[in-house]
Amino acid sequence: MSKTDYRPRSAMRDQQVFISDTIVENPYKLIVSDMGSGKTGATLDAARKLLDRQEITRILVIGPKLVSKETWRDEIETWEHTKCLSKAVCVGTDKQRKAALAEDAEITCINRENLVWLWNQIGGLKGWKWDFVVVDESSMFKAGKKRTAKTRVKDKKSGQMRTRKGGKMTRFGVLAAARPKIKRLIELTGTPGELLDLWGQIFLLDQGERLGSSKEAYEGRWFNKNQYSHKITPHDHSEAEIMARIEDLMVSMPKLKIVPDPVHIPIRVDLPPAIMRQYAEFKKTLVSEEYDVEAVNNGVLTNKLLQFANGSMYNEEGEVVPIHTAKLDALDELIERAQGENVLIFYGYKFDLAAIRERHPDAVVLNECDDAVRLWNEGKINKLLAHPASCAHGLNMQYGGHIAIWYGLTWSLELWLQANARLPRPGQEKLVAIYQILARGTVDERAIDVLGGKGARQDRIIDAVKAELASQ
């Protein structure tokens, strides 16, 4: 990159300046800002200010794997005033991660899966040296468990395996344990989740001061748990009380129209009548004799029906049994209609991936190619296959195409929103079209409705802490 290619600090948008100032002025904050709004650049701007003032010495950025590996590194190198910051990417093999730690950089980026490895590698709290921690996509800490529930160990005397309570430390547990040494902790997300998801994120900021010292106590105070379905719902008064307690720790940015909203286009396909009769019978009885599949409860059934709608299911032996090709045929037609334009295809299950690859052997799988994001953005990948969990957070993919296709849906609102934000980002020059292939009369149609309902509830949380920018 030549000197003239670097972006000057003056190119920061008003919202980015606001986020940067918020980080400098608040040592602990959950910042909710829409996907593609420039959170990464704004955070780096704040980091540079704090480093210059010698208020911090080292920064640890924790995020999804590809975001940690590529997005933060690329953003550091994008800005004229941040390119000088030393950086290390603690992602990859054990050898590569150790080498990254040895660099002792000002900014170290690590994927969330390796946080426990980091804790063990540095010898726990005594080796913790990062006084500023940035959690990119803080919703990944919503579970709020410090340790796994249990672990299997071999008894030294009897040699038999037994269950021991208090299992291995979790990534949430690492941050909770390191919290006394963290002078500044900033959480970034575009999708904070629902009320139940807030406890873990807030606890890391205030160590339980506002919502209690355990998630169990949080649930007991503000939620009701159905003893039969185990569904957890907030009391009528809970939302107002919770938001009032945390409003000083949380701020959301108004959504900016940097690029037009994508166009969502449902593509409904009809399954053959005989297949629909099998679907109806399976839904009613929880048993499919034709495909040797049994759902032990309604929760399992819901997932199995989603598989059925996609075209295959896993049977009792864990084998894939094909059912129909309606969605594959629809995908072929959509690709043909794209007339050579690059397409990003979201799949749900491994058998979806296998089926698509069989029909389209030229397709590239995101998590199987180290340079997939770069090649996509350079226009060198015509068909990119991705599970929404592998590309849902933070990846800039707007330069490679403007067409996305959901082959199979997800029940996760976070993955749905985040995946849908990969293409309509600053720098996108075309209107983004997002197609959803839906099997008519199946659970697909319910999934779309549920995702819309969850989105409405999350929007209320975001609106409750929305900032008013002076320029608006």
Is there a contact between 360 and 422 (Cβ–Cβ < 8 Å)? Answer: no
- The dihedral region occupied by 465, where left means phi > 0, alpha psi between -120 and 50, and beta the remainder, is alpha
Run of H or E residues at 267: strand 263-269
Query: What's the 3-state SS for 4-39?
Result: HHCECHHHCCHHHHHHHHHHHHCCEEEEECCCCCCH
- Where exactly does CATH 3.40.50.300 map onto the chain? 263-457
User: What is the dotted CATH code of the domain comprising 3-150+167-252?
Assistant: 3.40.50.10810
Run of H or E residues at 152: strand 150-154
Q: List the one residue out of 351, 280, 365, 285 whose CA is nearest residue 322.
A: 351
**C-alpha span between 191 and 120 (Å, rounded):** 30
- Where exactly does CATH 3.40.50.10810 map onto the chain? 3-150+167-252
Claim: this prediction has a pTM higher than 0.75? no
By DSSP bridging, strand 403-406 and strand 433-439 are: parallel
**C-alpha span between 334 and 343 (Å, rounded):** 9
The pLDDT, as a whole number, for residue 248 is: 96
User: What class, spelled out in words, does domain 263-457 have in CATH?
Assistant: alpha beta
Q: How far is CA 200 from CA 168, 237, 472, in A?
A: 18, 20, 32
**C-alpha span between 308 and 444 (Å, rounded):** 10
Contacts of 10 (CB under 8 A, 6+ apart): none
Backbone angles phi, psi at 365, to 5 degrees: -95, 130
Which 3 state secondary structure label does DSSP give 344? strand
Between the two ends of the chain, the Cα-to-Cα distance in Å is 35
> What single letter denotes the amino acid at residue 318?
G
DSSP string over 248-265: TTEEEPPPP-SSPPPEEE
**C-alpha span between 126 and 371 (Å, rounded):** 36
**C-alpha span between 393 and 373 (Å, rounded):** 13
**C-alpha span between 436 and 434 (Å, rounded):** 7
The pLDDT, as a whole number, for residue 292 is: 87
- Residues β-bridged to residue 29: 186
Per-residue pLDDT tens listing for the chain (472 residues) = 444 468 899 999 888 999 999 999 999 999 998 766 789 999 999 999 999 999 999 999 999 887 888 789 889 998 999 999 999 999 999 999 999 999 999 999 999 999 999 999 999 999 999 999 999 989 889 888 888 866 555 666 666 666 555 578 999 999 999 999 999 999 998 888 889 999 999 999 999 999 999 999 999 999 999 888 888 999 999 999 999 999 999 999 887 666 788 988 888 999 999 999 999 999 999 999 889 898 888 888 988 999 999 999 998 888 999 999 999 999 998 998 888 899 999 999 999 999 999 999 999 999 898 889 999 999 999 999 999 988 866 688 999 999 999 999 998 888 898 899 999 988 888 889 999 999 999 999 999 888 877 777 777 777 777 776 654 4
Residue found by looking up tokens 């190119």 in the block: 11
Quick one: 299 exposed, middle or buried, by C-beta within 10 A (0-12, 13-18, 19+)?
Answer: exposed
